[in-house]
Chain A
């Protein structure tokens, strides 16, 4: 049985439409018009225990709204969400003791105290036993290399260090389901990598189910085998990360190096879209089904030193999906 089951989930926000300027503001006092924003639109998916799934989408795609519904902060407008058999919006303590939500942009640590105090507070809030607490704390501070920082005021820590403590604070009660909302946002490359590696290792060791949102492709590529791509509230894709490329990109990239120059744009453009052309090198984008034919022709027609056929980079594919294009031609 899946640990997270989302069934035709929708969230519609009603926002007041305001005409521009002072006149509009005054008119708004008497005559209100509302527009509906479908933040999440009929989304369904299910996640098995122990999976690490990436939730990918541009800003405003509905990722955070979905996570909020899964954590019981928001009521769905329609459809249902079940996590570990609980309906999140009931906000049962039994449920709240078994999951964690980490938001990259909001913090729960107390600013004017050392991180260890906030951690202890969380231990008590979740009712974690002393032994378990010390064991988990030791392990995590070791792994994330923040043991020495436990006694330093949170306000004096760097963003990356704070994020590490945020993670520890959220994992003290060993949640079965971990929802991570942009955990690497605003961090430098090294800190991003640290957090990423920790998450991957944590999932592998503890079999905690993790649903992670990000708009950084690097996060998703490093962590998730499976992705759910969402845009404008709608689910665009659900499956293996590699399959995204196959589904949304109907082209491949052919890179050719010539032994001698003189190849013209005209000759090449019959075979595919010319992306780059220098005297000795050309990069072509060729429809998937014509790749074989095109490469044959290249080898026959020109004096080729090297030929390389690749998939379109995933970032580019996702970008297209985000941009709303069904597929690149």
Chain B
């Protein structure tokens, strides 16, 4: 086979993995529909919670802004978080990879002319495709109902940066989960550790509260952390909270993390596989 044909067929093979997995996922579309609707329930709670907090501040005569965000901003932030997480969360990746390693299911990929990590990426991407296929039906009506909270109309720059940040969100989410899953090469049982990691990720990605309302020193640290790209950054970029001259810097740091995580996961894979091939399989 010529090089060009080989490259084409290599792409094609991953494309087929993606489309096959999409078909399989479609078997569970009812599950996705329920998920896409009911995942918004916590949002109602968050709206009430922030409403109470802002009302409390108003009563004491304190500033109506928290970390530079109005009550409306806070509601929009929480709503946009669902969009960001729709890219950065890759459910099942950690546990599937660690299970493949522990139970020796990896063998069936190792004997085929295929790259396991790219296989995983395609597998998860298919999940995202089906998720968004359903979400495009359920998200707009909900956002429409919330239209009075959306006070900022994003610029073209912000929209562009938002799209790029979503790509970074998926890449970091995917790579991070893969790396944690690959710890199974070295440790038999990691579920306790997983719990801690997921709690930290939940906090550091700004899912609980926006990172910019944290104390300055913590905010400074988290500004450079990779986890903000899994939630915080896409939200605040679209909300116009990042000055235009900082957009490039934020995205560049994000790409930097993608590069670092990519390198690390490749390293873990090759080291882990050596160990796997030596001790078990």
Residue A256 at the chain B interface, CB threshold 8 Å: no
- Give Cα A127–Cα B110 distance, bound, in whole angstroms: 16
Residue A72 at the chain B interface, CB threshold 8 Å: yes
Q: How many A-B residue pairs have CB under 8 A?
A: 73
Residue B151 at the chain A interface, CB threshold 8 Å: no
Stretch of A109-117, A271-279, A290-298, A308-316 contacting B (4+ beta carbons < 8 Å)? A109-117
Nearest CB of B to A67, in Å: 10
Nearest CB of A to B270, in Å: 11
Residue B225 at the chain A interface, CB threshold 8 Å: no
Nearest CB of A to B15, in Å: 8
Interface residues of A in 103-161 (CB under 8 A from B): 103, 106, 108, 110, 112-113, 117-118, 120-121, 124-127
A13 adjacent to B111 (CB under 8 Å): no
- Give Cα A110–Cα B111 distance, bound, in whole angstroms: 17
B111 adjacent to A72 (CB under 8 Å): yes
- Give Cα A99–Cα B110 distance, bound, in whole angstroms: 12
Residue A234 at the chain B interface, CB threshold 8 Å: no
- Give Cα A101–Cα B108 distance, bound, in whole angstroms: 8
- Give Cα A215–Cα B250 distance, bound, in whole angstroms: 61
Contact with A along B1-42 (1 / 0, CB 8 A): 100000001001100110010011001100000000000000
Other-chain residue from A75, A96, A112, A124 in contact with B13 (beta carbon distance below 8 A): A124
Nearest CB of A to B269, in Å: 12
Other-chain residue from B12, B111, B278 in contact with A124 (beta carbon distance below 8 A): B12
A73 adjacent to B277 (CB under 8 Å): yes
Nearest CB of B to A183, in Å: 15
Contact with B along A1-42 (1 / 0, CB 8 A): 000000000000110000000000000000000000000000
B281 adjacent to A125 (CB under 8 Å): no
Q: Which residues of B contact A75 (CB under 8 A)?
A: 274, 277-278
- Give Cα A125–Cα B111 distance, bound, in whole angstroms: 11
Q: Which residues of A contact B12 (CB under 8 A)?
A: 124
Q: Which residues of A contact B114 (CB under 8 A)?
A: 125
Residue A44 at the chain B interface, CB threshold 8 Å: no
Residue A68 at the chain B interface, CB threshold 8 Å: yes
Contact with B along A66-109 (1 / 0, CB 8 A): 00100111110000000000000101010011011101001010
Nearest CB of B to A325, in Å: 31
Residue B105 at the chain A interface, CB threshold 8 Å: yes
Which residue of chain B has its CB nearest to the CB of A114? B23
Q: Which residues of B contact A71 (CB under 8 A)?
A: 110-111
Other-chain residue from A14, A113, A125 in contact with B113 (beta carbon distance below 8 A): A125
B13 adjacent to A127 (CB under 8 Å): yes
Residue B112 at the chain A interface, CB threshold 8 Å: yes
Interface size class of B (residues with CB under 8 A): 20 to 34
Which residue of chain B has its CB nearest to the CB of A107? B108
B110 adjacent to A91 (CB under 8 Å): yes
Most chain A CB within a 10 A radius of its CB, from B13, B113, B280: B113
B277 adjacent to A106 (CB under 8 Å): no
Known: A89-B277, A127-B9. A108 touches B16 (CB 8 A): no
Nearest CB of A to B178, in Å: 19
B112 adjacent to A96 (CB under 8 Å): yes
Residue B279 at the chain A interface, CB threshold 8 Å: yes
Contact with A along B105-122 (1 / 0, CB 8 A): 101101111100000000
B107 adjacent to A117 (CB under 8 Å): no
Nearest CB of B to A210, in Å: 16
A110 adjacent to B20 (CB under 8 Å): yes
Which residue of chain B has its CB nearest to the CB of A100? B111
B107 adjacent to A106 (CB under 8 Å): yes
Nearest CB of B to A261, in Å: 60
Q: Which residues of B contact A117 (CB under 8 A)?
A: 20, 23-24
A68 adjacent to B107 (CB under 8 Å): yes
Q: Which residues of A contact B20 (CB under 8 A)?
A: 110, 113, 117-118, 120-121
A96 adjacent to B111 (CB under 8 Å): yes
Other-chain residue from B23, B28, B112, B274 in contact with A126 (beta carbon distance below 8 A): B112
Known: A68-B107, A106-B105, A127-B9. A96 touches B24 (CB 8 A): no
Q: Which residues of A contact B280 (CB under 8 A)?
A: 13
A126 adjacent to B113 (CB under 8 Å): yes
B279 adjacent to A103 (CB under 8 Å): no
B107 adjacent to A73 (CB under 8 Å): yes
- Give Cα A127–Cα B13 distance, bound, in whole angstroms: 8
- Give Cα A274–Cα B104 distance, bound, in whole angstroms: 49
- Going nearest first, the 5 A-B pairs with the smallest beta carbon separation are A93-B113, A124-B16, A96-B113, A124-B13, A75-B277
Given contacts A97-B113, A106-B105, 20 further A-B contacts (CB under 8 A): A68-B107, A68-B281, A72-B111, A73-B110, A73-B111, A73-B281, A89-B277, A96-B111, A99-B111, A100-B111, A103-B108, A106-B107, A113-B20, A117-B20, A124-B9, A124-B13, A124-B17, A125-B114, A127-B1, A127-B13
